[in-house]
Amino acid sequence: MNDPLPADSAVGRRAARTRHPGLLYAVAGISALGGFLFGYDTGIISSALLDLARDLDLSTRAQEIVVSAILVGAMVGAPVSGMLSARYGRRRVIIAVAVVFAAGALASALATSALTLGLARLLLGLAVGAASNTVPVYIAETAPPAVRGRLMVLFQLMVAIGQLVSYLCGYALAGPEGWRWMFGLAALPAAVLAVGMLPLPESPRWLVERGRRNAAETVLARLRGPAHDVTAEASEIAALCRAGEAAPRGLRATARALGSSWVRPALLIALGIAAFSQLTGINAMVYYAPTLLSDAGFGDSVALLTGIGIGLMLVLAGVTGAIGVDRFGRRRLLLWLLPASGIAMAVMGLAFLADAGSPFQRWTVVLALFAYIFFNGASMQAVVWLIAPEVLPLAVRGPATSAATATVWGFDLLIAVTALTSAQTFGLTATLLVYAVMNGLCWIFVLRRVPETRGRSLEDIEQQLRAGGLRPGRTETARPRETTAR
């Protein structure tokens, strides 16, 4: 765990300083708007729920159902988008996702009942699931290793920014019927995403996989610059496509490929990180913190302001994670910050045992909440969309990443439909302590299973996987992939 990481070498540092074309950053920045929409549409319900529940007279269970509708849609959207992106390409799917985002936002704003709002949120969920599955893969397959981590974490940073903006809009638009404007505003960034994706290139790895190597080399030249040996990179991608006999066709072939012994270690890592990203409690706080704080006597205004604080901490965590994944490594960041995340959650839970409404209780709850959001956001939430596309092999990357994304949304749904009920049945302290324990179990999983992928090309990682698995606790020597033409 203390071995030097590959990018710490002089060669690795030179690779990290390589100047990359502006198009590379445009690809990451524009496609990451899908993360902004993901964050806004999942976060806005937290603020809208306070007035929405009163306007529509929703019970606790009805509130959980309205919150959960978007997650049910996401569970469907993730695997469907995986199949569509494998067939039609990552870029086209992201454009279609932007259109669905806009339609879902407008339908939510115009909803006339809890049922129609639930259906609109279900439609939004299809877009959220598809974005969370397709955008990280698109960024991973277009970015060089030296900056892949920070570009992929840009997606999670945009999720955090979207959630912050949702809290700010929620505070500004609070009041009867204000939730309609909260939902409808999301149509604007959706339109920007759709238009912005039109001039961007397709994933070079998808092009090679579909037998369009010349087009892939053209795209690589635009993304890497004139000094890069695009022929060598395209050859390496093509070799892996041949080794994996390209992407498996049909459900049976895909299931067989996912179940093969050499793929299983990577799939276990991807699914485990996906599950723990939710079981550690982050979205219970994002969705319900204002409601829980209001019920605990904080008052609606204080609860909404606390929501803005959560949004700010998510953005700060996103920036920290974006810097940390390439500077310190994915595995090291998790091992350093997860213990602090669990401790903060435990302190917050125990604080609810103090004198209700006392200044000590309120300050302890709020500070522990902010600390938890930061430590969990800078570790688990920074890595969750990064690990799966990195460790999963090209031949099954689409369906396997879809399975990991569906796992995220499945456990997110579990949290969404149980958090309020659990708090009311067993108490806030017991509920939050369970989340604290999950942070500890996640740390053990990372220690025993998760390898370091920083500074390594996707092809290097796959070659190691084929050679005998991804070994945690040890840094593999990797060649920097900033190859230049000779």
Per-residue DSSP letters for 270-319? HHHHHHHHHHTSHHHHHHHHHHHHHHTTS-HHHHHHHHHHHHHHHHHHHH
Contact of 281 with 415, CB cutoff 8 Å: yes
SS3 call for 68? helix
Q: What is the pLDDT of residue 68?
A: 86
Structural contact between residues 181 and 172, judged by C-beta atoms closer than 8 angstroms: no
Predicted pLDDT of residue 65: 82
pTM more than 0.85: no
DSSP summary character for residue 396: G
Per-residue pLDDT at 295: 64
Within a 10 A sphere around the Cβ of 249, how many other Cβ atoms? 10
Q: List, for residues 200-217, the tens digit of each pLDDT value.
A: 999 998 998 888 989 999
pLDDT at 161: 92
Query: Which domains, ranges and CATH numbers included, belong to the chain?
Result: 6-200+244-468 (1.20.1250.20), 211-243 (no CATH)
Question: How many angstroms separate the CA atoms of 131 and 40, rounded?
Answer: 13
Which amino acid makes up residue 393?
P
Tell me the CB-side half-sphere exposure of residue 291, using CA atoms within 13 A.
29
Confirm if 405 and 271 have CB atoms less than 8 A apart. Answer: no
Residue 271's pLDDT is what?
95
Sites in the chain below the pLDDT cut of 50: 1-16, 246, 475-486
The pLDDT of residue 356 is: 72
